[in-house]
Amino acid sequence: MNTPTSELAIAAGIETVAVIGLGYIGLPTAAILAGNGMKVIGVDVSPATVDAVNRGEVPFVEPDLGIHVSGAVAQGFLTAQKETPRADAFIVAVPTPFLADKSADLSYIEDSARAIAPQLLGGELVILESTSPPQTTAHMARVILEARPDLSLDGSDGRPAVLFAHCPERVLPGRVMIELVTNDRIVGGLNAGAAAAATALYRVFCQGEILETDATTAELSKLVENSYRDVNIAFANELSVVSKNLGVDVWELIKLANHHPRVNILQPGPGVGGHCIAVDPWFIVAADPENARLIRTAREVNDSKPQHVVAQILEPVKEVASPTIATLGLAFKPNIDDMRESPAVDIVHKLATQRPDATILVVTPHSSVLPRMLEGFSNIKQVPATEAIAAAEVVALLVDHDKFREIDMATLAGKHVVDTRGFWRADALG
Ligand code: SAJ
């Protein structure tokens, strides 16, 4: 492990860092840089986010982030604002959603680039952290240099150079504050100088290895990592459907198979969610639709899993008029409030649409609000777990939140239980 230090960054001429986008990645990165003595200005289009950060608060759930943000703000190292300031380094961590045709929407990156351009004097480092299709860092550089023809990539013709790099984040939601420090980091520069400057900046807080490469390899590496996981989860999800049809307990099956020294099957679930694994593989498919066949199929397998779960939930109440269904959890994974691309949200939406006569009781221990996709349904109600279970004919466990361990198993007696996570295995249910 290497020792992090802000001295290297300062030696590389970086004292002030602007972090553009104070979301799930930008805010932790801003807080950890500030906590290590860098002067950090966070930038966000949302006034609510800016105000929250300036109060030292975090507008979403991520373990330990609050203490980092409040400490950095109290010490004056972290501030937030709507306008992009002048800075020695810029870290762009804005969303890259996909469009209807599954290609990436780069408009947030382009907007950030256009806001950075007028603030540059030459010599700055601009890092793209957002997960992006191959060549996006070069695209961002083009947008900036088109707006600033007095600057260049390499200092040619006496025009001052701006350094561009891609440094994908690879932290796991729920463990962000740990993994930011301990994970290895890939740093891809548009040129070697840019990679070296980015390494100096990440060394401020990163104790893992920092591996330098070119920007396109770094972009692709991030996409490949998440596609690898998606393909492996698809394998588990496909097994869960095949096992169900054969009357086999898939969790027992996987546990047994994993005793083989070279087999390590992941866990099936209600589908794959989050803004990373459910999205990034499409960027590879879009880059080479003809050849990325396995990656595309894995996406399709995972995307079809919610409908299998819906069928399982509705089967026992197909003859029941106006049934009540309890769905436990809406987040895309346990112990967080993030519902982006969540298969649980998709399942509840499908239930409410496919059985408009049913009442769908949703239990969300980490959030008091429903996602927009579920707003406006009169047959969806948010209630505590005990109330939902007491009223329901079918109880579907969609997210394995630790809080659901508090549920008294006796209250499940006589209910049809659909346990998408193997949280309450058949033997535990008695
Ligand atoms: N899931 C399963 N079965 C499993 C593992 C996960 O169904 O065995 C599901 C989860 O329930 C969830 C989804 O997959 O719905 C994704 O969860 P995750 O925990 O696998 O990953 P994310 O999306 O939280 O974070 C991933 C990580 N990438 C990899 O592990 C390769 C993280 O390191 C990345 O930084 C992150 O994507 C990102 O931002 O790209």
Residue 178 neighbours by CB distance under 10 Å: 13
- What pLDDT does 3 receive? 56
Q: Which domains does the chain have, with CATH numbers?
A: 4-208 (3.40.50.720), 225-429 (3.40.50.720)
Quote the distance between the C-alpha of residue 266 and its chain's center: 19
Ligand 1, atom nearest to 225 Cα = 31
131 lines ligand 1 (CB under 6 A): yes
Query: Which letter does DSSP use for residue 160 in this model?
Result: P
pLDDT in tens, 222-257: 999 999 999 999 999 999 999 999 999 999 999 999
CB 274 less than 6 A from any atom of ligand 1: yes
**Spans in the chain with pLDDT lower than 50:** 428-430
Q: Ligand 1 center to residue 172 CA distance, Å? A: 7
Question: Do 53 and 90 meet the contact criterion of CB atoms below 8 Å apart?
Answer: no
Q: At what angle do helices 215-246 and 280-287 cross, to 10 degrees?
A: 110
- pLDDT at position 11 is 72
| pLDDT value of position 258 | 97
Q: Taking a C-beta distance cutoff of 8 angstroms, is the pair 293, 362 a contact? A: no
Residues 330 and 348: their CA atoms lie apart, in Å, by: 8
* Residue 230 alpha carbon, nearest atom of ligand 1: 14
Residue 428 makes CB contacts below 8 A (sequence gap 6+) with 409
| pLDDT at residue 428, as a whole number | 47
Q: For a substitution probing ligand 1, which of 333, 339, 346 has the most ligand atoms within 8 Å of its CB?
A: 333
The predicted structure's pLDDT at residue 430: 40
Q: Reduce the DSSP state of residue 226 to 3 states and report it.
A: helix
Task: Please give the number of the atom of ligand 1 that sits closest to the Cα of 237.
Answer: 7
State the DSSP code for 401.
-
Helix, strand, coil content of the chain in percent (nearest 5): 45, 15, 40
